């Protein structure tokens, strides 16, 4: 677990160099690929739930563009024209792909894009509270939000409810991940469901293949589709 820290990420990769581990699975990518690539000389590295255009390694991920497009298209179908987007870090190419899906859905319907409707560092429930407070102060507010994960969605909804907003009448919220929290909040949270078990199993099988055989590591992209789960928050 790197907690999105560049230094910790490199420290963990040094375990591969020192033969303390046989392989590394990276579920986020904080350093540039140029700073990571040389570690391939010491063992296999695989990207999981992340994307890197220049990495010559297996990448097991979700179709992030489709996820962003699908969520925003749903919000548009509910009549929303001002839609915000939350992300954890745009250093992540996976997050960028999701944002591209969001932007494509807006462009397709000739809807406005406002940079003030982009909210970064969206990871925890507290971040959701913070994002809602920032949104609430805007003169020109979005009427819907696609958040980076369900914890953020829950925080936004809680903050909005405390302030007297009606969800989804005053603010519609769509999450990402389909965590258990989506079914216990009031209202329940619409979200993007991801096949995390399939992704995890495939990632482990892939790293074991390179650890247990002489097969040379090579670039391949295994991309899983996502599903929109519609609940009360939209």
Structural domains of the chain, ranges and CATH numbers in brackets: 6-62+195-226 (3.40.50.2300), 64-193 (3.40.50.2300)
Cα–Cα separations (whole angstroms), residue 141 to 99, 132, 145, 164, 197: 19, 10, 10, 15, 37
Q: Tokens at residue 227, please?
A: 């599903």
Mean pLDDT value across residues 78-103: 94
pLDDT of 1 strictly over 70? no
Q: What angle do CA 87, 90, 91 make, to 5 degrees?
A: 135
pLDDT score, position 4: 73
Q: Are 94 and 63 in contact (CB under 8 A)?
A: no
Range from 45-49, 88-92, 99-103, 108-112 carrying the lowest mean pLDDT: 88-92
Q: How confident is the model at residue 2 (pLDDT cuts 50, 70, 90)?
A: confident
Mean pLDDT value across residues 225-230: 98
pLDDT score, position 102: 99
**Pairwise CA distance, residues 27 & 59, whole Å:** 10
Q: Tokens at residue 224, please?
A: 């899983």
Strand order in the sheet with 144-146: 118-119, 83-86, 144-146, 172-174
DSSP 107-154: HHTT----GGGEE-S--SHHHHHHHHHHHHT-SS--SEEE-SSHHHHH
pTM of the model: 0.93
Q: How confident is the model at residue 73 (pLDDT cuts 50, 70, 90)?
A: very high
pLDDT score, position 39: 97
Using the 8-state DSSP alphabet, how is residue 38 labeled? Answer: G
Q: How confident is the model at residue 5 (pLDDT cuts 50, 70, 90)?
A: confident
The chain-wide mean pLDDT, for the chain, equals 96
Q: How confident is the model at residue 3 (pLDDT cuts 50, 70, 90)?
A: low
Q: How confident is the model at residue 225 (pLDDT cuts 50, 70, 90)?
A: very high
pLDDT score, position 78: 98
Mean pLDDT value across residues 176-191: 98
pLDDT score, position 161: 98
The string of pLDDT tens digits covering residues 9-53 is 999 999 999 999 999 999 988 899 999 999 999 999 999 999 999
């Amino acid at each position: 677990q790197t907690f999105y820290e560049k230094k910790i990420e490199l420290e963990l990769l040094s375990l591969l160099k020192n033969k303390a581990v046989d392989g590394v699975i990276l579920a986020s990518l904080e350093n540039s690929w140029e700073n990571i690539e040389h570690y391939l000389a010491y063992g296999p590295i695989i990207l999981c739930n992340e994307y890197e255009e220049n990495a010559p390694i297996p990448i097991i991920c979700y179709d992030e563009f489709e996820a962003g497009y699908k969520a925003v298209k749903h919000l548009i179908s509910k009549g929303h024209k001002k839609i915000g987007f939350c992300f954890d870090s745009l250093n992540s190419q996976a997050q960028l792909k999701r944002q591209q899906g969001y932007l494509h859905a807006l462009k397709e319907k000739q809807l406005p894009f406002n940079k003030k409707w982009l909210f970064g560092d969206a990871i925890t429930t507290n971040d959701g509270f913070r994002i809602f407070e920032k949104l609430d102060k805007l003169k020109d507010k979005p009427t819907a939000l696609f958040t980076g994960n369900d914890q953020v969605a829950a925080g936004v909804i809680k903050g909005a409810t405390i302030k007297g907003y009606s969800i989804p009448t005053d603010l519609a919220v769509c999450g990402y991940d389909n965590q258990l929290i989506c079914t216990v909040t009031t209202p329940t949270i619409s979200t993007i469901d991801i096949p995390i078990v399939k992704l995890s199993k495939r990632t482990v099988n892939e790293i074991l293949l390179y650890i247990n055989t002489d097969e040379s590591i090579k670039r391949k992209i295994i991309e899983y589709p996502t599903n929109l789960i519609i609940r009360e928050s939209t």
